[in-house]
A and B are shown apart, each in its own frame.
Chain A
Amino acid sequence: MKTIMIIGGLLICTLGFAQEPTAKQILDQIDQNMSSENRVYTSQMIVHAARGSRTMEMKSWTAGDNQSYTEYLAPAREKGTKMLKLEDKLWFYSPSTDRIIQISGHMLRQSVMGSDLSYEDMMEDRKLQDVYDAELKGNEEFQGVDCYVIELTAKVSDVTYHGRKQWIDKSKLIPLKEELYAKGGKLLKRTVLSDVKKIEGRWFPTKIHYKDMLKRGDGTEFIITDIQFDVNIPDHIFTKASLR
């Protein structure tokens, strides 16, 4: 799942700041400390639908900013389904149909399996600092944790969300909450990160909750059950040949 990378981009930081840093410094720190070249993780996505919830399990390999490969492990219906993302292209493979289907254009704006995420949300892979101007807005307590509040405003025009607001844990330097705003300032989506664990020396939130704020419903949960950094991933993984 690509989303993990965006979040991941903000997460990994083991350094503290001696004095009140600027937003840029905080983001730089996060970017800089994203030292892993790639990662492999297994995760669960829980979609809260009207008639109960549904859990999917998958294993993902990601490298750099724009290569990712995911294989679905459960439930039985999805098992063996694979998804490959290279640059701005997205393909699905399903063993039951033995077909490779490319998702492009307006289809990317559709929701992913009834979740509160769109394919497009998963596709966004530019560094936040390339896309947004950041400004430290102050300090706030979130769920009992002292946080920096950073506001990000788009500096390029082709972004999905014009504004973002992040609550960053001061001590661990990981975001705990993010809000996505429309250009007019309306809150569109809210992401809450929790269950922060120390993995291979990094602090990492293993549970992410997405919620489309305009829609009613309980949102979508994303749980990382296992993650490894800097693993040796063969190149052929990120080719269409690996889908079949």
Chain B
Amino acid sequence: MIKFLFKGLLRDRHRSLLPIIVVVLGVMLTVTMHGYMGGVLGDMVDMNARFSTGHVKIMSHAYAEEEDQMPNDLALLEVGELIDRLSADHPDMEWAPRIRFGGLVDVPDENGETKTQGPGIGWGINLLGEGSTEIERFSLESSLIRGELPDKPGEVLLSDDFAIKLEIEPGEQLTFFGSTALGGMAFYNFTLAGTVRFGSSVLDKGAMIMDIEDARLALDMPDGAGELLGFLNSGQYVDEEAVAFCENFNSKYSDIEDTYSPQADTLRNLSMIGSYLDYAENMVAIIIAIFVIAMSLVLWNAGLLGGLRRYGEVGVRLAMGETKSHVYNSMILESILIGIIGSVIGAAIGLAFSYWMQNNGIDISGMMKNNSIMMPSVFKSKVTPVTFYIGFIPGVFATVLGTMLAGIGIYKRKTARLFKELES
């Protein structure tokens, strides 16, 4: 029976094509919408995660207490081993060690003496390491104003405003002067690879970004890191997972007595945006609910239309002696097939689009004039498990419901009048 109907659907374009297209479009829109809403409402959270807290962040107890002062003397040690163990225990997460530090950035004249200098904030991140995802996390490629990204040790990026102030061009030398983690003097020469602009007034004043290995050398903190940021592989913050990780981690590694032992905390706690997260989730739920209802109505309507479209055909089938319930059932079954086929195709297209949106996003920076604030200028989607099945609610159920309602008409038809109708 199903096979028969399936063939019918394939061979009779009128029966199948338009309804399927409608279902496909509807489901695709629903899926895209779900992904997009999640992404847009999550963008602020995402910014926080990428630049400051990760989805979870590991610091020493002592460092966490004075985090604002970037106290690298209290940093985590033996980070490589810690990451190895974490990677083994939690293959579903990515780890990003970072060192933030302050110091003097000094540009030499031809005699190697100070030409210009200014206070800067350094970021040691995994720029050059294998499979680094930090470049993407800091959107360095799209933030690049002049020059290139560092591709070998000893190269740094400066914020463009800072470079202009220091009168330094890509390719030229600069020296970092500051204190090592242990309090010694830190001198380190770098080559300016390029300049970036983030759109955050604070960062754009004096940021210097370098590979973490360079920062470790400059600050004399081998295998150390001020903070270790953890990112869930989905790229999206899921509170339950983050909380579970932290509980597990802290029970294993954290020791209140030892102020240098590591402790993990979640983005939610670190950034105090917990209630925003809840809010964003509720917003998504409400908007999606409205959207699914709307979509259901549309597909229900499409189902109704499908029934009407085949008024004549049904008449012929009844006239030929098919029972009304058989016709009705076959139409329902057909609509289920249409719903499923349409939903699968629609969900596939929608998901493909959402994944693309999750990875690439729509860049609106061109639409915004001189964007100088740290706002995500790329809108991304967020694909969650729900995104996979949300489309089936309107796609299958609403289509079938529409057909069921439209099909009731079958039972109202009088056999006696069928031939009359067919004559005309």
Contacts and interface: CB of A to CB of B under 8 A. Distances in A.
Interface residues of A, number: 29
B74 A51 contact: yes
20 contacts: A47-B183, A49-B73, A51-B260, A54-B183, A56-B184, A81-B187, A92-B185, A94-B185, A96-B189, A97-B187, A97-B189, A99-B106, A99-B113, A100-B112, A101-B106, A101-B113, A102-B113, A102-B117, A107-B104, A114-B73
Given A50-B74, A77-B185, A113-B179, 19 more contacts: A47-B183, A49-B73, A49-B182, A51-B73, A54-B182, A77-B180, A78-B184, A92-B185, A94-B187, A99-B112, A100-B111, A100-B112, A100-B113, A101-B106, A102-B117, A103-B104, A107-B119, A114-B179, A115-B183
Contacts of B62: 50
A64 interface: no
Nearest to A220: B183
A114 B181 CA distance: 9
A101 B103 CA distance: 13
B188 interface: yes
A101 B177 contact: yes
B175 interface: yes
Contacts of A91: 113
A72 B184 CA distance: 11
B220 interface: yes
Contacts of B187: 81, 92, 94, 96-97, 99, 101
A75 interface: yes
B175 to A, nearest CB: 5
Given A50-B73, A51-B260, A101 B184 contact: no
Interface string B82-116: 00000000000000000000001010100111100
Given A92-B177, A100-B114, A101-B106, A81 B183 contact: no
Q: Which of A51, A111, A115, A240 has the most CB of B within 10 A?
A: A51
A179 B180 CA distance: 29
A49 B114 CA distance: 30
Nearest to B111: A100
A72 to B, nearest CB: 8
A73 to B, nearest CB: 13
Nearest to B174: A99
Interface of B: 62, 71, 73-74, 104, 106, 108, 111-114, 117, 119, 175, 177, 179-180, 182-185, 187-189, 220, 260
A77 B180 CA distance: 10
A98 interface: yes
A115 B182 CA distance: 11
Contacts of B220: 77
B182 A101 contact: no
A75 B184 contact: yes
Closest 4 CB pairs of A and B: A114-B183, A94-B187, A102-B114, A97-B189
Given A50-B74, A99-B106, A107-B119, A77 B184 contact: yes
Contact of A97 (B71, B104, B113, B175): B175
A115 B180 CA distance: 12
Contacts of B189: 96-97, 99
A96 B175 CA distance: 11
A78 B175 contact: no
Given A99-B108, A100-B114, A102-B114, A54 B184 contact: yes
Contact of A78 (B111, B119, B185): B185
A80 to B, nearest CB: 11
Nearest to B178: A110
B317 to A, nearest CB: 86
A192 B73 CA distance: 26
A75 B184 CA distance: 9
Nearest to A244: B112
Given A51-B73, A99-B106, A101-B177, A113 B117 contact: no
A12 to B, nearest CB: 31
B390 to A, nearest CB: 51
Q: Which of A54, A92, A113 has the most CB of B within 10 A?
A: A113
Interface string A59-101: 0000000000000100101100100000000011010111111
Contacts of B71: 50
Interface in A160-203: none
Contacts of A75: 184
A193 to B, nearest CB: 22
B185 A81 contact: yes
B185 to A, nearest CB: 6
A79 to B, nearest CB: 11
Q: Which of B62, B104, B114 has the most CB of A within 10 A?
A: B114
A101 B114 contact: yes
A101 B73 contact: no
A72 B187 CA distance: 14
A111 B178 CA distance: 10
